[in-house]
Structure 1
Amino acid sequence: MLEDCAFKKTARTIVKQMVSIRMVLNVTEYQADVYYNSHTGERAHAAFPDGVIDDVNYDGSIRAFLFLLNNDCCTSIDKSRAFLSDLTGGKLNISKGMISRLNREFALKTEPERRSAYADMLLSPVMHTDCTNARENGKSCQVYVCATPDGKALYFAREKKGHEGVKGTVTEDYQGILVHDHDITFYNYGADHQECLAHVLRYLKASIENEPDRTWNKKMHALVQEMVHFRNG
């Protein structure tokens, strides 16, 4: 265990050294004239450039980097902060609140795109849907995923599973072929159904392991695999 911890620490140090060579900070300071009204005592300053609101502002590259770390790379907020601090030699110590706000800002800015994707997915002849467990502030919750073969995907956070969880997702209004696992809730939506072949392969594998005297499961497993490879090719 000690050797493993030492290896991880050494590897992290090497990665920091490799990446920090490419990290360059450009700091721009804006100064504005302040005007004082001797009669009223009021003070006013000249306008700053658009986007300069707080005392310290971060450009799109830093914000995008942190957003992708936290979401696309599934890195926690604390680890994202520590990684950026390591890369900049401790010069950038972003607050947890700032990284957390990036998700809400992204959601607000992408609302038109999400509405457009929602409408396009309703017209797709085939759509995949699934539900997975998640945690929010220590509480159990659900994330519903809707995806189409052309690469569009939307995620919906829900407190519960079942019909209450499906409400408001693309699945609720979808009228095409719905691909999903064996959750009986999904059979109440869509015009037709196909069970996810990844799950079918999983069931067949379990049958092969638990019923070694049978042969049909091995043949079916090989056939489904061949079908998947043919389709992917």
Structure 2
Amino acid sequence: MFIGSLQAMPDTSPAGALPSTGLTLGNYREINAQVHLVRSLVNSGIFTGGVIACTVVFGVLAGYALARLRFRGRGTLFAVVLLVQVVPFQLLLIPLYVLIVRSYGLADSYPGMILPYAINTTAVFVFRQFFLQLPDELFAAARVDGAGEVRILRSVALPLVRPALLTVVLLTFIGPWNEFLWPFLITKQTDMQPLAVSLANYISNVAARAANPYGAVLAGACVLAAPAVALFIVFQRYFTSTNIGSGVKG
């Protein structure tokens, strides 16, 4: 994909996947002139960053409550969380659109794009399972010392579930970063559209008129994929199991 984005003329043969002479950055200039890559990347960063922040905050709170707090209906509530995961997001598009645009008046806004993704049941499930693995003795000792639930969550639980936190961040990042349908429905303003939406519009309306449409599309795909690859490379060293039993004797 990267080599194809640098080719002046498209070469779809197997040999075209190997570096060759005549490589150019013209495809990147071509697509930047049409979709403004920097502005689209900033929009994607705002959209994705807001979704990640909401997912982590609500996922941690809900996962901790389902794992460590005792209240009536906890099992039923967790079953509902699992049930929500089998509902395709496409079935919710129309009611969500009516709710966000007509009821809340959040069309052409970043909150309108972020709110439908603010709570991720998969993140809740992942955090709950990790919190369940923590030794009960750690929480009992913290309560004996007078710590409240918020202090226990912040000082005891969160430092031990770093692998889950990083996993949720990476999995959450991939979805909204590549999402183009929902942001396209919420805003038609080109200066607010994420990169995935801009690329979809480019492929549909402009690519056929480019000097090298394949190269321009591949250039946009490389720009879209680069942050996800970089994030995985940075985080992969942390995808190790924490020694959750190190805080207790025996």
Alignment TM-score, normalising by the size of structure 1: 0.22
Q: Which has the larger radius of gyration?
A: 1
Of Structure 1 and Structure 2, the greater strand share is in: 1
- Give the structure, 1 or 2, with the largest relative contact order (CA under 8 Å, sep 6 or more): 2
